Amino acid sequence: MNNAFKGSGVALVTPFNEDLTIDFDALKKLVRYQIDNGTDFLVVQGTTGESPVLSYEEKHAVLKAVQTENEGALKIVYGVGGNNTLQIGEELSSLPGGIDGILSVSPYYSKPSQQGIIDHYKYLASCTSLPIILYNVPGRTGSNISADTTLELAQIENIVAMKEASGDFDQITSIVMNKPDGFGVLSGDDAITMPLITIGVEGVISVVANAFPSKFSQMVHAAINGDIQTARRIHFDILPVTHMLFEEGNPGGVKAALNKQGLLNSYMRQPLAPISDDLRGRIEIETQRLLPK
């Protein structure tokens, strides 16, 4: 099974109303914004979508709303992960239709050994026929998926890609150099996506592209097509706001940029707190600068 998820993927935020119920109208506007501005695939209920604070029913309601607005235009990846292996397997076995792939983060907090990580993913792969994208984000999970572990898991038929957010160029390079044909590597770090593509990474699952889908997609595709001059120019242009969007955590920054564009309110559920007025002001200035004139 080859990786079908390439180019500019977007980890969608979940918009909320003031009472912190899900704002489905804003969610549909956000999906349409992505479709109309060059995004290649959508990721529903990653951490950017505040998945830890949504109920099982809410997650499926978000998925259904995205599917309804998307109408098959873009591939949809659904986030299913955690540190209760058997429970995740049960969820994978009973997913609704219309999902093109799964994004599954390495078990967090438990800090399993590399063998524990391998066994975890082997079990998940046995519970679904859908393609699975592994997700390595040591800063959130407390453990790293080594290059050797990734390469072993890449031999499993329906494990098709790795979203790499370790920030370790040597590790990512080792995966790209030694991976089997058809297995994909995706960036999980917006700020280094362009240079990662130059070493063979096939795309990104992005936070920043929620707010700037056209520019981010242009950068990604220019880099993939070998137009490094164009990719570098856009990379440098959006890098200041990229850093700002993560300055006080995610998705507070990107929701502020989306709010500036009138796409959604910037409410988040606890334990996330609103970003500072100073940061919001700087993000709004950069957002205004980057919008089409």
Share of the chain above pLDDT 90, in %: 99
52 assigned to some structural domain:
yes
Tens-place pLDDT, residues 5-47: 999 999 999 999 999 999 999 999 999 999 999 999 999 999 9
Residue pair 224/199 in contact (Cβ under 8 Å)? The answer is: no
**Which pLDDT value is given to residue 293?**
72
In angstroms, the CA 125 to CA 259 distance is: 38
* Cis before 15 (ω within 30): no
Residue 292 has pLDDT above 90, yes or no: no
247 assigned to some structural domain:
no
Q: What CATH number is given to the structural domain containing 64? A: 3.20.20.70
Residue 133 has pLDDT above 90, yes or no: yes
> In total, how many domains does the chain have?
1
Residue pair 67/75 in contact (Cβ under 8 Å)? The answer is: no
3-state class of 26 per DSSP? helix
Residue pair 199/185 in contact (Cβ under 8 Å)? The answer is: no
279 assigned to some structural domain:
no
Please compute the mean of the pLDDT values over residues 72-93 and round it to a whole number: 97
Residue 258 has pLDDT above 90, yes or no: yes
Please compute the mean of the pLDDT values over residues 285-291 and round it to a whole number: 95
Joined tokens for residue 183: 């297995």
Sequence-distant (≥ 6) Cβ neighbours of residue 6 within 8 angstroms:
40, 184, 186, 202, 203, 224
**Which pLDDT value is given to residue 4?**
96
195 assigned to some structural domain:
yes
Residue 254 has pLDDT above 80, yes or no: yes
150-162 CB burial, b ≥16 within 10 A, e <16: bbbbbebeebbbb
In angstroms, the CA 246 to CA 248 distance is: 6
Tell me how long the chain is.
293
26 assigned to some structural domain:
yes
Tens-place pLDDT, residues 134-180: 999 999 999 999 999 999 999 999 999 999 999 999 999 999 999 99
40 assigned to some structural domain:
yes
Q: What range defines the domain where residue 98 resides? A: 7-225
271 assigned to some structural domain:
no
Q: Rounded to two decimals, what is the model's pTM? A: 0.97
Sequence-distant (≥ 6) Cβ neighbours of residue 190 within 8 angstroms:
204, 206, 207, 208, 209, 216, 242, 245, 246
Sequence-distant (≥ 6) Cβ neighbours of residue 212 within 8 angstroms:
238, 241, 257, 290
| Residues with catalytic function | 135, 163
Tens-place pLDDT, residues 38-78: 999 999 999 999 999 999 999 999 999 999 999 999 999 99
133 assigned to some structural domain:
yes
